[in-house]
């Protein structure tokens, strides 16, 4: 796949966005069904939900071991669908604290659990902590499509899953709460230097620097 061409082609990106929304709704429906929490209202909220698409480009880095494309974070989404041009996406294995490389599978879409799904499922699904590494020779591209409820819709623990053994363990929050949280807390001090010396070019990264949700 020719990523630069695709990213510059509005029509193609529009088609891609719509196809990913359709896919995300199917996956989110299957997940809520698997949890036994398929209320019509949630389905409706998902249909009316948000999609944030992020195109990332990582130029070659002469010393990749000294830098990162994106620092460790989890996505403030319900699920994220990711397409990568080559490997560089890594997931933290919470059992041994080691980073695992997601192999390059041409044209394959990866589906990642985001913060909202962890909250809804009371931690039965765990939000994926991930990072992007750099390559010495190759430019790498990725397209992340983050799917969540609407801007003001609060995500909380599904009441069907809350019991004595699984008490409410997560604070409910909306995308707007998350943005307010970012506005009030100087997370950029910590995040920006890892990404780029130019703060403005990094501002668009704001929506997915979560790891703070829940
Ligand atoms: O470029 C990647 O592989 C990771 C992208 C990502 O994590 C994000 O956009 O939130
Ligand atoms: Fe991410």
Separation between Cα atoms, residue 61 and residue 69, nearest integer Å = 9
131 CA from centroid of ligand 1 (Å): 7
Separation between Cα atoms, residue 123 and residue 133, nearest integer Å = 27
Q: SS3 of 195, please?
A: helix
At residue 161 the predicted structure's pLDDT band, cuts being 50, 70 and 90, is confident
Atom of ligand 1 nearest to the CA of 69: 1
Average pLDDT, the chain: 84
Q: Are 116 and 162 in contact (CB under 8 A)?
A: no
Residue 106 has pLDDT above 60, yes or no: yes
pLDDT of residue 185: 75
Comparing 36 with 100, the larger pLDDT belongs to: 100
Residue 24 has pLDDT above 50, yes or no: yes
Residue 27 has pLDDT above 50, yes or no: yes
Q: What is the ipTM of this complex?
A: 0.99
Residue 214 has pLDDT above 70, yes or no: no
Contacting residues for 162 by C-beta, under 8 A, at least 6 apart:
122, 168
- Test site for ligand 1: of 208, 210, 211, 213, most ligand atoms within 8 A of the Cβ: 208
Q: Give 46-58 pLDDT, tens digit per residue.
A: 889 999 999 999 9
Can you give the residue ranges of every domain in the chain?
Answer: 3-210
- Alpha carbon nearest to ligand 1 atom 6, residue: 144
pLDDT of residue 200: 32
Domain 3-210 grouped into CATH 2.60.120.330: yes
Separation between Cα atoms, residue 7 and residue 136, nearest integer Å = 23
DSSP-H helix ranges across 105-155: 115-120
pLDDT (average), residues 188-199 = 41
The predicted model scores a pTM of 0.84
pLDDT of residue 186: 66
Q: Give 65-97 pLDDT, tens digit per residue.
A: 999 999 999 999 999 999 999 999 999 998 999
Residue 105 has pLDDT above 60, yes or no: yes
- Test site for ligand 1: of 54, 67, 113, 146, most ligand atoms within 8 A of the Cβ: 54
Atom of ligand 1 nearest to the CA of 54: 9
- Least distant ligand from the CA of 206: 1
- Alpha carbon nearest to ligand 1 atom 10, residue: 208
Comparing 210 with 137, the larger pLDDT belongs to: 137
Atom of ligand 1 nearest to the CA of 84: 3
Helix, strand, coil percent content, the chain, rounded in steps of 5: 35, 20, 40
Contact residues of ligand 1, CB 6 A cut-off: 54, 56, 70, 75, 84, 88-89, 130, 132, 142, 144, 208
pLDDT of residue 1: 61
The per-residue b/e assignment along 20-40, b for 16 or more CB within 10 angstroms, e otherwise, is bbebbeeebeebbeebeeeee
């Amino acid at each position: 796949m020719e990523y630069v061409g695709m990213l510059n082609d509005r029509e193609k990106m529009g088609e891609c966005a719509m196809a990913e929304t359709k896919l995300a709704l199917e996956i989110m429906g299957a997940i809520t069904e698997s949890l036994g929490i398929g209320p019509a209202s949630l389905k409706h909220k998902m249909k009316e939900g948000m999609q944030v698409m992020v195109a990332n480009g990582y130029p070659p880095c002469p010393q990749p071991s000294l830098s990162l494309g994106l620092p460790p974070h989890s996505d403030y989404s319900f699920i994220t669908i990711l397409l990568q041009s080559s490997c560089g996406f890594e997931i933290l294995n919470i059992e041994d604290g080691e980073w695992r490389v997601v192999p390059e599978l041409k044209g394959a879409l990866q589906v990642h659990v985001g913060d909202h799904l962890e909250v809804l499922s009371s931690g039965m699904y765990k939000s994926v902590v991930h990072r992007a590494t750099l390559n010495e020779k190759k430019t790498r591209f990725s397209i992340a499509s983050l799917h969540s409820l609407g801007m003001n819709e609060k995500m909380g623990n599904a009441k069907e899953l809350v019991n004595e053994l699984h008490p409410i363990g997560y604070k409910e929050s909306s995308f707007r709460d998350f943005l307010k949280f970012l506005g009030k807390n100087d997370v950029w001090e910590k995040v920006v230097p890892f990404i780029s010396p130019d703060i403005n070019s990094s501002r668009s990264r704001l929506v997915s620097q979560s790891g703070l949700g829940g």
